[in-house]
Amino acid sequence: MGRYRLSRVNDSPATDPAAAAETTDGEPSGAEQHGALEVIRAARFAKVDAFGAAGGQAYPYRFDRSHTLAELRARWGELGPGAETTEPVAVAGRLMLRRRQGKLAFGTLQDRSGTLQLFVSKAVIGEERFDAFDDLDLGDVLGVEGVVMTTRTGELSIRVERVELLAKAIRPLPDKWKGLTDADTRFRQRYADLIVNAEARRAFTVRHRAIASIRRTLDDLDFVEVETPVLHAEAGGAHARPFVTHHNALEMQLYLRIALELHLKRLIVGGLERVYEIGRVFRNEGLSPRHNPEFTMLELYWAYGDWTEVMTVTELLVTRAAADALGTTVVDIGGTPVDLAEPWRRASLYDLIEEHVGVRVHPSMDRDELAAICRAKGVAVEAHMGPGSLCMELYDELVERHLLAPTFVTGHPVEVSPLARVHREDPWITERFELVVNGRELANGYSELNDPRVQRERFDDEQRAKEAGNLEAGTVDEDYLRALEYGMPPTGGLGIGIDRLAMLLAGVTTIRDVILFPTLRPEVF
């Protein structure tokens, strides 16, 4: 089917409503903004109707591109001023800027790879199509055919021979209202944010490249990528409140998974030996710059290894992800450049507590003594907290935020590590680490507990804690215990928060900047 060429459709109002909206004095009220928007929408819908009545199609089915804009720059970026090629090209994108200069018009076309100037001459395309180009609105999606050239000032451009409207922008671009400066609007209308915000597009490009790098690295290490259930009969694998749902056909309560761990370790029992999953997990908790109720985790399990192998692979994954996503291993952390390629510090949380709080604690201490220290330091104490939990509260509240450079924090108490093995030299702690960067936990790993009797004892402790009021504690997973009774080899496990890794690499301060559609309160229309 042939494509209609763009022809001019006159606005019915005497003045361009979009231009009138731009020149309003002062800051428009909400009602004024809504009223101006409705005028613009009506005028643009009228253009669509008139275009169709004239035989055009404002929303054609497809457009065949020959190049992206970046490909044009890569091929002809060294073209000298005033030069012109003879090879025809076809590109597509969104019209972002436009200006007219007598019998010439200039536009800026944007696709996902970048921007390029459009050079439109009335002498080349004729008066009717020149006026039609002038009648386009910013935000319109266009297909453009022409040849590559440079202006006398050396600006790489396309000398336009034909323009096709591919999608009419009924709403004006966000910069009509001085850009998307309101954070809630940016996250709620991510589609508009991505159109006008190059930094938003860059953050998600960094995220994509980091995830692709992780997959390549794990493939090189002979890991198998798997998928495990999102709906769980037992909410386990982490300390978190789950989302609860109901399966109608089976008449049973289920939970959205809070971790990937327990199903992946079932696969270690089954003999897959090196497995990983990059998947969404769900925790029914509050919102903050570091937390979203649904987020992405990488979890991997390595049979016949322990936490030392896992620490090594953690450093490898993060460093390679930085290099592949950014082209450098140097990232900005709290205003300080840090080279991730340098060895990372390893420190026990008890040494860190002494370093930052000035007291020496250990989970072997008397609970009342630890509770008194917590209260003296302004840390809340709850009835269900044992000595290990109180040590962790001191660390969480007073230490973690000070750790800017990558640090492996080790020595987590048995009480708060129900799935980790007891440390081979200290029965009060586990062979577990957390990677903390810029005051945020980025990864968590340990030597996995594989003794089914000890695991049952830990699960029983969790169940009692839940019954005592700890809503984040786990329950007894009988099927997982059955799997352990078949024998799970020595195993090292790791979880990395993909969103927080993306935050680190993209240099942003809120998790919402690296989640395309973060959880928000319902919008009132």
Q: What is the pLDDT of residues 442-470, one digit of tens each?
A: 999 999 999 999 999 989 988 888 888 88
Q: How confident is the model over 504-515, as pLDDT tens digits?
A: 999 999 999 999
Q: How confident is the model over 317-346, as pLDDT tens digits?
A: 999 999 999 999 999 998 899 999 999 999
- Segment 27-48 shows an average pLDDT of 84
Residue that the structure tokens 């606005």 belong to: 11
| Intervals of CATH 2.40.50.140 along the chain | 59-178
- Residue 178, pLDDT > 80, answer no
Which string of b and e fits 311-324 if b means at least 16 CB within 10 Å? Answer: bebbbebbbbbbbb
User: Residue 218 has what pLDDT?
Assistant: 98
Question: What DSSP string describes 10-57?
Answer: --SSSS-HHHHHHT-SSPPPHHHHHHHHHHHHHHHHHHHHHHHHTT--
User: Contact 306/315 with Cβ under 8 angstroms?
Assistant: no
User: Contact 364/448 with Cβ under 8 angstroms?
Assistant: no
Measured distance CA(300)–CA(218) in Å, rounded: 9
- Segment 206-210 shows an average pLDDT of 98
**196-344+405-513: which CATH topology?**
BirA Bifunctional Protein; domain 2 (3.30.930)
- Model pTM? 0.88
User: Contact 506/514 with Cβ under 8 angstroms?
Assistant: yes
Q: Which amino acid is at 263?
A: H
Q: Which CATH superfamily is domain 59-178 in?
A: Nucleic acid-binding proteins (2.40.50.140)
Q: How confident is the model over 90-121, as pLDDT tens digits?
A: 999 999 999 999 999 999 999 999 999 999 99
| Intervals of CATH 3.30.930.10 along the chain | 196-344+405-513
Proportion of the chain above pLDDT 70, given as a percent:
93
Least Cα distance to 94 among 160, 141, 144 occurs for 141
- Residue 17, pLDDT > 60, answer no
